[in-house]
A = this chain, B = another copy of it.
Amino acid sequence: MKTADKHDKIIRAATKVFAKKGFFNARISDIAKEAKVADGTIYLYFNNKYDMLLSVFEEKIGRLVNLINSQLEQEDDPRRMLEIFITTHLREMKKNKNLAEVIQIELRQTNKMVKDYRNNKFSEYLNIISMIIKKGQAKGVFRRDVLPGLAKRAIFGAMDEIARIWNINIDSEYPIDETTNQVISIFLIGILQHPTTGKS
């Protein structure tokens, strides 16, 4: 087996174990066993436990960024772009619960360990949202007084909370399509009953 393959194998195992047990309750030996590798082998590929979590996170978010970017490539309508972002994010979280879980873990458990939080894949990911919003504002389709840097947080936060619930499965669950449409419509037109709104 090639070195690259083993690295990958460990990443996959780590994702699974972190997602299932959380970072602190995951043992290196759990991950090693899941990857069918000796405990020590892990340290040939990663510096330490936290380095693994970070690698898992960056790798997965990187894939997400690529996926979304490829989806958005053809599209030029900001409204449609936002719909695509929301749809894709929710679909991926639903499809890959471990990913959703690892995002949750990394985002809250390890802030305290790490200082530099700016230049990473995750910021890049969220900035896709704010770029869409800015574009929409420039085109006059989105309200100009919305702060893109705040809106990106609101939108991500909403989706992240919904994904969290999927992973606990409390709440009688709604179909993903319905959920997606709800989120899109809430952020586009709000919950207020508009006199003019006749759209479905």
Contact = CB atoms under 8 A, between A and B. Distances in A.
A64 B195 CA distance: 35
Contacts of A24: 24, 109
Interface residues of A, number: 63
Contacts of A164: 107-108, 157
A177 to B, nearest CB: 13
Interface of A: 20-22, 24-25, 79, 104-105, 107-109, 111-112, 117-118, 133, 136, 140-147, 149-151, 153-162, 164-165, 167-168, 170-172, 174, 178-179, 182-183, 185-197
20 contacts: A21-B112, A22-B112, A24-B24, A108-B108, A108-B109, A117-B168, A117-B170, A118-B170, A141-B193, A142-B191, A142-B193, A146-B185, A147-B174, A153-B158, A155-B158, A157-B158, A158-B161, A188-B190, A189-B190, A196-B196
